[in-house]
Structures are given as structure tokens and as C-alpha cells.
Structure 1
Amino acid sequence: MQLTLGPVLYNWKPELWRDFYFRIADEAPVDTVVVGEVVCSKRSPFLDPHIPAVVERLAAAGKTVLMGSLTLMSLPRERKAMLELAADDTFTMEVNDLTCLGMLGGKPHAIGPFVNIYNEATATYFASRGATRICLPPELPLSAIRAIAQAQPDVTFEVFSFGRVPLAISARCYHARLNKLSKDNCKFVCDQDPDGLAVTTLDDEPFLAMNGVQTLSYTSASLLGDVDKLRDAGVGAMRLSPQQCDMVAVAKLFRDVVDGKVAGNEGTEKLSAIYPLKQSNGFLYAKPGSAFVTDNGDVRRIVPAA
């Protein structure tokens, strides 16, 4: 079982973003790392100067580097940028917007969790177009994951296993609207919430989190207790999504559980100490995504905010 570090979904300060990947290269036991801005193209100019050094450092450390595409293209400049990304043969693209498939022209590529692959036929289609690895949508239950993975044994299938779960992307910017700004003049206020901004209901219950144009779960996915089930289902990699915590410690903990050095339930407890956000794995058991299903089948739901 491999470990993949997904792209940073939030607006982090460029130097912090760079140093984060430098540390991942030097210390984190992950096999594959996805680099690049996938949420909002307005953030890209701040990260682009650091990408060559980041990719070089990761590659020198033996990591496989994937370059993530935007999740939603709506402007000519965004399409041009993705065309340039697809034309570069020095790395493999991870496709998050189907428009990129035509740009790739059948070249080997990866598929990110933002593409809706819900059954075996769809996975087979993408494999025929050159997909060599697929991160399945996080809302899939284990039964569907098993059916898809077993139908395409030559494809490496990933499952979103840690971090706030990306649920939706929009052409409108929630952070800008909240601060009474336009999307074109957002002043990059999303950097005020480097781990997403929690959203509560009118009853003051935690509900979702927002990140610029993106909607995420309030809870953090945690599939540490489900490693054996995922492996038996044919899953080849677990994806960790960067959060504001010690991601090297998270990666080491996942590595220990995957390698059988730490039991899944013990790993789940240790993860709470590293990243105290409420954990969830409900989607895997066809339950509400915010639920957490324990080893004995008990379903725990998140506690309303104080």
C-alpha cells in the first residue's frame, strides 16, 4: 500500500508552501506527491516561482511527482495554462477537470478525486484514455471501491484517507462574498483561513468548511482503522490531504499502520493528538460523511459546536 500526499487545497503563504514541501521531501514516508494549485488560478502566480525547486527536491528524495490541474477552468488564461501543463513531458499530470483529457491526447496520466468515477465502466473508459492511477471520489462506499478496483487491476486506485474532504467547487468565491468583496478583487482573503473556514447551521451545529471557491467537509477524513479493508478491496494507495498540522507525523503514523507496526484503532487515537479536528469515515460505510464508524460498528456523529 502506497501513500500519496495530495495538493495543498488552501491559500498558504508562498514561502510556507515551499518549506512545507521541502520538509515532506526530506522527512515524510510518502511515495507520491501532487504539486500545484488546483482550487483557484489566482493563487498560482505566488506559487509558480517555487515549483521548480519543490519538484527538484521531491524528485531527489525519490518521490514520484504529479502536477495537478485546476479543478474548474472558466477563463482563457486558465485553459492556456493547462494546455502548457499537458504539453510538458517532464512529469505526469493529475487531471481534475475533464477538459484536460483532450489536451493530453492519450498520454499516461493520473485522475484526481474531483472527477466523478462511480462505477467500473467509467473507470474502464478512463483507463482506455491513458489513466494509470485514479483517486476515487471520497463519497464512494467500500462496496463500490472494491467493484471498481477489481475491474481494473492494472490501474492504481487511491482513496482519500486524511484531511477535510473536498466536496464541491464553484465559479463564485465564498470568501470574497463573506468579506463583501468581488471575486476579481478578492484581496486573497482566503489566506486568513489556511485550514478552511468552518460553517455552522442556524442551530450552531458544525456543517461544512469553505476555502475560496471550494466547499469541504467540517470533519477530517480518517481511514486509519480501515486499512485492511481497503487493501482487501484492491486499493493501492491512501491519499493524505495537507492540513495545518504536522503532516510528517501524519504520514509516519499512516506508514506505521499500513506496515502493521501500529494497530488501526491505536493509530486513530494517535491521529487525534496530531490533528484534533473531529474524524469521520462515514462515506466508506454508506453512512453520512460526517459520521465515524468504529471497529464494532457503532456510528458516532459530530458533536454540535459549543
Structure 2
Amino acid sequence: MKLTLGPVLYNWKPEEWRDFYFRIADEAPIDSVVVGEVVCSKRAPFLADHMPAVIERLAAAGKEVVLGSLMLMSLARERNAMAELAADNSFMMEVNDLSCLGMIGDRPHAIGPFVNIYNEATATYFASHGAKRICLPPELPMTAIRAIAGALPDVTIEVFGFGRAPLAISARCYHARLNKLSKDNCKFVCEQDPDGLAVMTLDNEPFLAMNGVQTLSYACTSVINEIGELAKAGVRSLRLSPQQCDMVAVAKLYRDVIDGKKTPAEASAALTGLYSVPVANGFLYAKPGSTFVTNVAEAQRTARAM
């Protein structure tokens, strides 16, 4: 099983963004890295100057570089930018918006977790049009993952393995609205929340996280206890989504479990010391995504019986 580092979803300072990837290149046991601004096109110009150096550093370190496309295209300049990205044959492109498919044709590509692939028929359709790797949406239960992976043995099926789960994308900017600003004059206030802004319930409990135009879970997805079961299901890669924590250490924990150097229990305990946000794995067991299933054996028996 391989490890993929997903794109940075948040609005990090350009130098911080660059240095993060430099460290990933030099220290992290990651096989593939998705780079590029996928959430808000207004952030992309700030990263443009650093992108060539980041890609060069990752490639020189032996990482497979994948170029991520925008999740939602609604403007002419966004379509033009994606057409330019699609025309670059240097690296594989990850499709996060279906309109990208018309730009790349049947050229080999990856599908990101932001595309709704919920069954083997849909996955087979995308595979027939050039998808070589499919990262499934984070809300899928183990039964669906097993069915999709079993139907596509020649496609790398990837599962969202760590990080706040991406749930929705909007044409409206929550951060701008909260700060009484327009989307066109947002002043990039999302930069104030480099790990997302917690959304509280009426009972003052954290529920979701805002990231500009994106909605994420508040809890952090962790499948570190289910790595063995996912491998048996045919999953060939896990995606780690960058958060404000030591992602090199996170990657090493996942790699140690994959390689049998640590037990899932040992790695899970260490993970809580790296990132203070509560962990969740409920989606895998067809339960509310914010829950964390501790009695894994019983939950797996229940899931198989469904």
C-alpha cells in the first residue's frame, strides 16, 4: 500500500506552503504528492512563483507529482487556467471537476475525492475514460469501497486516510460573508484560519470547519486502525490531507503500520499526540462521520452483514 499526500486545502502563506512541500520532499515516506490550488482560484497567484521549485524538489526526491485541478470552475479565467493545466503533459493531472474531462480527453489521469463516485458502475465509467487512480469520497463505507476495488483490479483505488474530510464546495465564500465582505473583495481573510474555522452548534459544540468556499468536517478522519482491512479490500493507496501538524510524523506513523513496524493501536495513540482535533472513522462503518468506532471487530462484523 502506498501513501499519497493530498493538496493543501487551506490558505497558507506562500513561503510556509513552499517550505512545507520542501520538507515533505526531504523527509516524508510519501509516494505521490498532489500539488496546486484546488479550493479557490484567487489563491493560486500567490503560489505560482513557488510552484516550479516545489515540483522540482518533489520530483528530485523520487515523489510522483500530480497536478490538482480546481474543484469548482465558474469563471472564464478559471476555465482558461484549467485548460492550460490540462495541456501540460509533464505530469499526471488529478480531476476534481468533471468539466476537466473534456479538456484532457482519455489521457491517463487521476480522480480526486471531490468527485462523487459511490459505486463500481460509476468507477468503471471513469476508468474506461482514462482514470488510472481514483481517490474515493471520504463518506463511503467499507462495503462500497470493497465493491469498487474488487471491480477494478487494474485501477489504483485510494481512500481518504487522514485529515478533515472535504464535504462540500460552494460558489459563495463563507469567510468573506462572516467578515461582512464580498467574495470579490474578500481580503483573503481565510488566511487567518490556516486549519479551517470551526463551526459551532447551538449547544456550542464544534461540528464543521469552514475554509473559504469549502466545508469540511471538524473531526479529523483517521483510518490508521483499518489499514489492514482496507488492504484486504483491495485499497492500494491512502491519502493524507495536510493539516496544521507535523505531517512528516503523521506519514511515518501510517508507513510504520503499513510496513508492520507498529501496531495500529500504537500508531493511533501516537497520532493523538500529533494533532489535537478529535479523530473519526464513522463513515467506514456506515455510521455518522463524526463518530469514532473503537470496537472495530464488532463494527466490521456489522458492516459485512449489511
TM band (smaller chain): over 0.9
Counterpart CA distance in 2 for 1:234 and 1:187 is 45
1:26 aligns with 26
Find runs of 4+ consecutive structure 1 residues off by over 3 angstroms: 295-299
1:281 aligns with 281
Q: Name the aligned partner's letter for residue 81 of structure 2.
A: A
Counterpart CA distance in 2 for 1:149 and 1:15 is 38
How far has the Cα of 1:245 moved from its partner?
A: 0.5
Counterpart CA distance in 2 for 1:36 and 1:200 is 30
1:303 aligns with none
Query: C-alpha deviations, 1:109-139, integer Å up to 9, x for none?
Result: 0000000001111011000100000000000
Query: 1:143-154 maps to which residues of 2 (within 5 A)?
Result: 143-154=143-154
SS at match of 1:276: coil
1:2 aligns with 2
Task: State yes or no: 1:213 paired with 2:222.
Answer: no
Counterpart CA distance in 2 for 1:296 and 1:150 is 22
1:39 aligns with 39
Q: Name the aligned partner's letter for residue 276 of structure 1.
A: S
Task: State yes or no: 1:235 paired with 2:235.
Answer: yes
Alignment check: 8 A CA contact 1:198 1:218 kept:
yes
Query: 1:121-136 maps to which residues of 2 (within 5 A)?
Result: 121-136=121-136
SS at match of 2:176: helix
Q: RMSD of aligned C-alpha atoms? A: 0.9
SS at match of 1:26: helix
SS at match of 2:93: strand
Task: State yes or no: 1:139 paired with 2:143.
Answer: no
Question: Where does structure 1 lack aligned partners over 5 or more consecutive residues?
Answer: 300-306
SS at match of 1:132: strand
Counterpart CA distance in 2 for 1:48 and 1:67 is 13
How far has the Cα of 1:45 moved from its partner?
A: 0.1
Counterpart CA distance in 2 for 1:168 and 1:225 is 26
SS at match of 2:50: helix
1:185 aligns with 185
Counterpart CA distance in 1 for 2:75 and 2:101 is 17
Counterpart CA distance in 1 for 2:296 and 2:279 is 16
Query: C-alpha deviations, 1:30-64, integer Å up to 9, x for none?
Result: 00000000000000000011110000000000000
Q: 1:61 to 1:224 in 2, by over 3 A?
A: same
Q: Name the aligned partner's letter for residue 126 of structure 2.
A: F
Counterpart CA distance in 2 for 1:296 and 1:97 is 34
2:109 aligns with 109
| Number of aligned positions between the proteins | 299
Q: Name the aligned partner's letter for residue 119 of structure 1.
A: N
SS at match of 1:292: coil
Counterpart CA distance in 1 for 2:108 and 2:295 is 38
Query: C-alpha deviations, 1:146-174, integer Å up to 9, x for none?
Result: 00001000000100010000000000000
Counterpart CA distance in 1 for 2:28 and 2:207 is 31
Q: After the TM superposition, which of the residue ranges 289-298 and 89-98 deviates more from structure 2?
A: 289-298
Question: Where does structure 2 lack aligned partners over 5 or more consecutive residues?
Answer: 300-306
TM-score by length of 2: 0.97
2:198 aligns with 198
Counterpart CA distance in 1 for 2:297 and 2:11 is 37
How far has the Cα of 1:295 moved from its partner?
A: 3.9
How far has the Cα of 1:205 moved from its partner?
A: 1.6
Query: C-alpha deviations, 1:227-263, integer Å up to 9, x for none?
Result: 0010000000000000000000000111001111111
Query: 1:253-264 maps to which residues of 2 (within 5 A)?
Result: 253-264=253-264
1:74 aligns with 74
SS at match of 1:33: strand
SS at match of 1:218: strand
Alignment check: 8 A CA contact 1:225 1:295 kept:
no
2:304 aligns with none
Alignment check: 8 A CA contact 1:169 1:215 kept:
yes
TM-score by length of 1: 0.97
Alignment check: 8 A CA contact 1:38 1:69 kept:
yes
Q: Name the aligned partner's letter for residue 101 of structure 2.
A: L
Counterpart CA distance in 2 for 1:216 and 1:122 is 24
Counterpart CA distance in 2 for 1:276 and 1:44 is 29
How far has the Cα of 1:297 moved from its partner?
A: 5.4
Q: Name the aligned partner's letter for residue 139 of structure 2.
A: E
Counterpart CA distance in 1 for 2:186 and 2:44 is 15
